[in-house]
Amino acid sequence: MTFDFDRDFDIELSDFNVKKRGISYRYWIFEYGGSTESCRVDDGIVYSGACDYYLYAIDAETGKELWRFKTGDCVVNPLPEVDDKKVYILSYDGYLYAIDKKTGKLIWRFRSGDKCWAAAARYDGIVYFGSKDSFVYAVDAETGQEIWRFKTGDMAITTPTVHGNKVLFGSYDGFLYAADKKTGQEIWRFKTAGSIVNVRRFPVRKGIIYFGSFDSNFYALDVETGKEIWRFKVGYGITSASFIEGKRIYFGSHDHHLYCLDVDTGKEIWRFRTGDRVGACVSFHKGRIYFGSKDHNFYCIDAETGKEIWRFKTFHEVWCPPGFYKNSVIFGSLDCHVYSLDLDTGKKIWTFQTSTTAIARYTAPEEIAAEITVKREEWEETAEEEKYDFSTQESGMDQYDLKSEYQVKSEYKTESEYK
């Protein structure tokens, strides 16, 4: 049977069956290439990882390479963590690397059980990080020796956050966990209806932690008890890290919007629409918000009004947070380049190319192979059984009930067009 798609025809949607075939990808799968994402600027040096397996150190003033360090696989998403002497980076090869900031030489490395592609977080001499092997690790920053590990129920693509005596992290199992930062013992957990992915620390303000989930909700919880305070519904999943400035909180969504909410009430102040999914992180600098999108653009918008100031078009997607140096903003793109732009005008200052111009191929979680077949039987009354709840259909990851584990009333009722 063939169809002539140049001709008009009418057919009811119920005449088709859509079936999954093959494996549903539940996480981003990157292949070799020159694509780069995160940029950390520290003391005039840009640290940027790429899918060509390298971590680069680049002069922030000139864009000239200072050194490069090769890992065993793609360096995807991780924002390099730095202290006085070392740079910490995670790789698809499963290792956490500690590298000398000045020379680019390896100091130590620690192996987890599987791929790593969030960022490590260093607090008080301990480096915390998550892995696809479902564990969150605590490692001595000087020696690279393991202190403890905590097992979640699924992949831990998370950048841990330390607050007080707790370390907080998410998992693909849909839980946000709070554990004792010294012992790794669980203190509480909060259940959402979708995977929790964060490549930058969760913000904590006045005893409240804020985070998004692939269940399309953005949450505010009491950091001491794990009790929900409010939630805000968006149109599709959230894997973007958020940040707080004053009494506002900002985050992006897969529904193509950047949101600004009142941090205390969860009420929407404004939203800004891009041409595709908003990148994994957004950054604030001097009253402006800087972020990238899958639509290949890097945006600068007014933090107060949400109005666009300028945009810069790259040749591929822009996902991770920029860094700032003097009057420039610096970020990476999947087009294999690191860019430095003028903060005020968006004009290019310099570009840095990684070791290859071959763009890294990747498969996103929602890119699931499917086939369409024409039904031959009559439509039956059981059609209702084939309908899916929006939250589970859109996320495609976790099939939890939408109720939170902690059943307490939110203090505030948030307003959103997504009900």
Is residue 142 within 8 A of residue 160, CB to CB? The reply is no
Give residue 80's domain range: 17-118+187-198+207-395
Nearest partner of 56 among 324, 241, 330, 239, judged by Cα = 330
Q: What is the DSSP letter of 384?
A: G
CATH code assigned at 192: 2.40.128.630
- pLDDT at 307 (0 to 100): 98
Judge whether residue 334 has pLDDT over 60. Answer: yes
Give the three-class secondary structure for 382.
Answer: helix
Number of independent structural domains in the chain:
1
Tell me what pLDDT residue 7 has: 39
Give the DSSP letter of residue 304.
Answer: T
- Please say whether the beta carbons of 212 and 251 come within 8 A: yes
Distance CA 60, CA 218 (A): 35
292-297-300-301 Cα dihedral, nearest 10 degrees? -90
Confidence of residue 199 (pLDDT cuts 50, 70, 90): confident
* 130 lies in some domain: no
Residue 280's pLDDT is 79
Distance CA 372, CA 17 (A): 6
The CA dihedral of 412, 279, 29, 110, to the nearest 10 degrees, is -80
Helix, strand, or coil (residue 305): coil
Residue 82 lies in a domain: yes
Pairwise CA distance, residues 268 & 266, whole Å: 6
Q: How much is the pLDDT for 37?
A: 82
Q: What are phi and psi of 386, to 5 degrees?
A: -95, -5
Rg (CA), the chain: 22
Read off φ and ψ for residue 383, nearest 5 degrees.
-60, -30
Reported as half-sphere exposure (CB side, CA atoms, 13 A), residue 389 has a value of: 14
Average pLDDT over residues 208-221: 97
In percent, how much of the chain has pLDDT > 70? 80
Which tokens go with 390?
Answer: 């929006």
Q: pLDDT tens digits for 225-256?
A: 999 999 999 999 998 889 999 999 999 999 99
Distance of CA 391 to the CA centre of its chain: 19
Rounded distance between C-alpha atoms, residue 277 and residue 269, angstroms: 20
3 part of a folded domain = no
Listing from the earlier edge strand, what are the strands of the sheet with 166-170? 161-163, 166-170, 175-180, 186-191
- Tell me the average pLDDT across 245-274: 96
How far apart, in whole angstroms, are the C-alpha atoms of residue 292 and residue 278?
A: 6
Distance, in Å, from the CA atom of 168 to the CA atom of 1, rounded to the nearest integer, reads: 55
pLDDT of 384 > 80? The answer is: no
Of 322, 249, 318, 294, the closest CA to residue 79 belongs to: 322
**pLDDT of 417:** 56
Whether pLDDT at 211 is above 90: yes
pLDDT at 78: 67
116 pLDDT band, cuts 50/70/90, is: very high
Is 39:280 a contact under the CB 8 Å cutoff? no
Q: What is the pTM of this model?
A: 0.82
- Nearest-5° Cα angle at 281, 269 to 415: 25
Residue 245 lies in a domain: yes
pLDDT at 297 over 80: yes
Reported as a single tens digit per residue, the pLDDT across 61-108 is 999 999 999 999 999 876 899 999 999 999 999 999 999 999 999 999
| Residue 392 three-state SS | helix
* pLDDT band for position 367 (cuts 50, 70, 90): very low
Residue 147 lies in a domain: no
DSSP string, 188-246: EEEE-SS---BSSPPPEETTEEEEE-TTSEEEEEETTT--EEEEEE-SS------EEET
**Do 50 and 378 contact (CB within 8 A), yes or no?**
no
Average pLDDT on 323-335 reads: 95
User: Within a domain: residue 1?
Assistant: no
Q: Does the CA dihedral 339-288-232-275 come out positive or negative?
A: negative
Six-digit token pair at 64? 């000239």
pLDDT at 415 over 60: no
